[in-house]
Each structure stands twice: as structure tokens, then as C-alpha cells.
Structure 1
Amino acid sequence: MSLHWESFVFTLIAFLILYILLNKYAFGPLFSVMEKRRELVQQQLSEAANTREQATVYVEEQKQALQEARQQAYEIIEQSKQTSGKQAAQIVELARSEAARLKDEAVRDIQNEKNKAVEQLRGEVGVASVKIASKLIGKEVKEDSVQGELVDQYLKEVGGRS
């Protein structure tokens, strides 16, 4: 094997010329494109990190908003329970007062009817007593006479005992 210096030099020169041409026309634009691509990837990574941070903040805000909504719902439910309890107590109290009023009214009506019945019974007993007395005595006793008044007084005394 012999080494040919001329071909070696020629190859070296051709290689240098090729390297210079590639460096000027190919490597420069290629490295420029690669640098732009690297910057784009860096920018996308940075944007992804920012987006992730924003998403984390947004999720925390949503959690807090959800917690506040739950708290408000709980407070509304508690207020509703208290309001319904108060309304139920008011309705029960109103029903009790209405029942007491109706009872008192019924007692008054019963007392009035009782008094009317007693008065009517007294009148009927008075008339019957006068008729019985007139038959016993054999003569007629008039209701508006003194004897009628005596019978009424007797009936009042008898009515006062019972």
C-alpha cells in the first residue's frame, strides 16, 4: 500500500472546500432552523408550565368557590329549618288559641242554652204547678195572682238547691 500524497492533498482540499460550502450554505441555515426549533420548544415548555400553574390556580379557585357554595347552601338550609320551625310553632299557637276561643264560645253557648232551658222549664213547671194546685184546691189559680208568685218563688228556691 502506498500512500499517494497528491490524492491525499486533493481529497483534503476537496473536503475543506466542501466543509466551507456546507458551513456557509447548509450548516448556517440548518443550525438556524435548529436554534429556532429549540427556542420554539423552550417557549412551548414555558407556556405549558404557565398553563399548568394557571390550571392549578383555577382548580384551587374552583375548590374554594365550591366550598363557599356548599357553605351558603348549608346556611340556607339552616335558615329554612329555623323559619319552618318558627312557622310551625306559630301555626300550633294559632290553632291552640283558636281551639280555646271555640271552646269558650261553646261553653258560653251551652250555658246560655242551659239558662234558657231552665227558664223555660221553670215556666212550664210553674204552669203545671198552678194547674195541679188548682185541681187539688178545687178552684182555679191564676198565674198572675199572688199564688203564682209564691209558686215561682218556691221554684227558684228549689232551683237554687240543685
Structure 2
Amino acid sequence: MSWHWESFVFAIIAFVVLYWLLNKYAFGPLFGIMEERRRIVAEQISKTEQDRKAAESLLAEQKEAMQNVRKEAQTILEQARAMSNKQSQDIIDQAKEEAVRLKEEAVRDIETEKNKAVASLRNEVSAMSVLIASKIIEKQIDEKSQEELVEHYLKEVGGKQ
């Protein structure tokens, strides 16, 4: 096998022309498409990163909002408990006051009735005393008869009670 320099030069020229044609018509558009694809992928990565940061920010806001809602709910529950306790204590206090008032009223009623009964009894005793005195004067009896008469009338008064 021999080496021919013309073939070698012709192959180099053909290679250079082929490289120039490929570079102009194939590699240029191919590299342009690849560059465009790289740019699109980079934009998508950047947009995805921004979306991820926005989602993290939104998630943090939602967590904070949930914590605030929980705190508010806890505060509302505590206020409701306090109000319930206060209302129940007020009801108990009112019931105690009403019981004291009713007791005092009953004591006053009992005292009034007692005073009426004592007054009535005094009136009856006075009437009986007057009656006894009048009967004693009428009969003009001795001391023993008088004691029996008083006892008799006292038994009558005791029976009327």
C-alpha cells in the first residue's frame, strides 16, 4: 500500500468543506436549538424554584394563621369558661340571697303569728280573769272553792290552745 499525498490533501479539503457545511447548516441550527432548550430548562428551573419558595412562604403563612386560630379558639374557650363560672356563681349567690330573704321573711311571719297568738291568749286570759272575778264576786265563796274555780278555768284555757 502506498501513500498518495493528493488523496490526503483531497480528503483534508473534503473534510474542511464538509465541516464548514455542517457547521453552517447543521451544527448552527442544532446548537441554536440546544441553546434554546437549555434556556427553557433554566427558566423552568428558575420558575420552579420561585414557585417552591412561594409555596414554602404560603405554607409558613398558613401555619401561622392556624396557630393564631388555635390561640383565638383557646382564648374564646377560656372566656366562655370564665363567663360560665361567673354566671353559675351569680346564680348560686342569688339563690343564697333568696334563701336568706325567705328565711328572714318566715322568721318575721312566725314572730308576727307568735305575737298575735300571745296577744290573743292575753285577751282570753284577761277575759277569763274578769269572768273568774265576776263569778267569785257572785258566789262569794271560800278560798278553796276559788282555787278550784281558777284551776277549772285554767284547764279550759289549756284545752283551747
**Both structures adopt the same fold (TM-score exceeding 0.5):** yes
Of residues 99-108 and 85-94 in structure 1, the stretch that sits farther from structure 2 once superposed is 85-94
Q: Deviations over 1:11-48 (max 9, x none)?
A: 33333232222111111111000000111111111112
Shift of 1:128: 5.5
- Structure 1 unmatched ranges of 5 or more: 140-154, 156-162
Q: Deviations over 1:39-93 (max 9, x none)?
A: 1111111112212222222222222222222222222222223222222222122
SS at match of 1:49: helix
SS at match of 1:23: helix
Q: Does 2:67 align with 1:67? A: yes
Tell me the residue number matched to 1:55.
Answer: 55
Tell me the residue number matched to 2:28.
Answer: 28
Q: Deviations over 1:91-117 (max 9, x none)?
A: 122111111111111111212222233
Partners of 2:18 and 2:136 lie apart in 1 by 168
Tell me the residue number matched to 1:9.
Answer: 9
- Structure 2 unmatched ranges of 5 or more: 140-153, 155-161
Shift of 1:126: 5.0
Partners of 1:4 and 1:125 lie apart in 2 by 171
- Percent of matched pairs sharing the same residue: 56
Mapping 1:1-162, distance limit 5 Å: 1-125=1-125
Partners of 2:63 and 2:94 lie apart in 1 by 46
Of residues 37-46 and 70-79 in structure 1, the stretch that sits farther from structure 2 once superposed is 70-79
Shift of 1:127: 5.3
Amino acid at match of 1:64: E
Partners of 1:135 and 1:6 lie apart in 2 by 184
User: What TM-score, normalized by structure 1, do the two folds share?
Assistant: 0.70
Tell me the residue number matched to 1:160.
Answer: none
Note the aligned Cα RMSD (angstroms): 2.9
User: What TM-score, normalized by structure 2, do the two folds share?
Assistant: 0.70
Amino acid at match of 1:114: K
Partners of 1:114 and 1:6 lie apart in 2 by 154
Amino acid at match of 2:105: E
Number of aligned residues: 141
Partners of 2:32 and 2:133 lie apart in 1 by 146
Larger RCO, structures 1/2 (Cα 8 Å, 6+ apart): 2
Amino acid at match of 2:82: Q
Of residues 59-68 and 90-99 in structure 1, the stretch that sits farther from structure 2 once superposed is 59-68
Amino acid at match of 2:43: Q
SS at match of 1:3: coil
SS at match of 1:63: helix
Partners of 1:5 and 1:132 lie apart in 2 by 180
